[in-house]
Amino acid sequence: MTFMDSISACFSKYVAFSGRAQRSEFWWFVLFLIVGQMIAGAADSSIFGSNVVMLGGMEFSYNAGYFGNIFALVTFLPAWAVEVRRLHDIGKSGWWILLWVIPLIGFIILLIWLIGKGTDGDNDYGADPLA
């Protein structure tokens, strides 16, 4: 699956939490999310400037994030849905996505699972997307 195919598939399955998503569909969409947030952040910084906050004697810069927030709202459900479908591809329930709430350990476990190869052939969640 190509970059554009992945974006098209994820937006056409905007809230489709059933079925399976192959690795390339998921990771190309993750790349799209990262690049999109970078572009939105750059647009926010150039248009609205950045703000500086003092926390514990340290300066932290952030921008207003209007475009970044809009981008995040538009892509939240497709990103969530493709991650659930990716978990389905490795034979896991979509409820395992809740591991994100466990700091660090949940991230590591999910990252290992999301990187891994999907199950060959059909599983409980549908046909093999590579078949």
Q: Which residue has the tokens 């979509």?
A: 94
Q: Which residue has the tokens 């598939």?
A: 9
Ranges of each domain in the chain: 3-115
| CA dist list (Å): 39 to 43, 65, 69, 96 | 6, 11, 12, 30
Q: What is the pLDDT of residue 50?
A: 66
* Cβ proximity of 1 and 9 under 8 Å: yes
Q: How far apart are CA 43 and CA 2, in angstroms?
A: 26
Mean pLDDT of 41-63: 71
Q: How far apart are CA 84 and CA 19, in angstroms?
A: 9
Which tens digits make up the pLDDT trace of 8-33? Answer: 999 999 898 999 999 999 999 999 99
Which tens digits make up the pLDDT trace of 76-119? Answer: 999 999 999 999 999 999 999 999 999 999 999 999 999 999 88
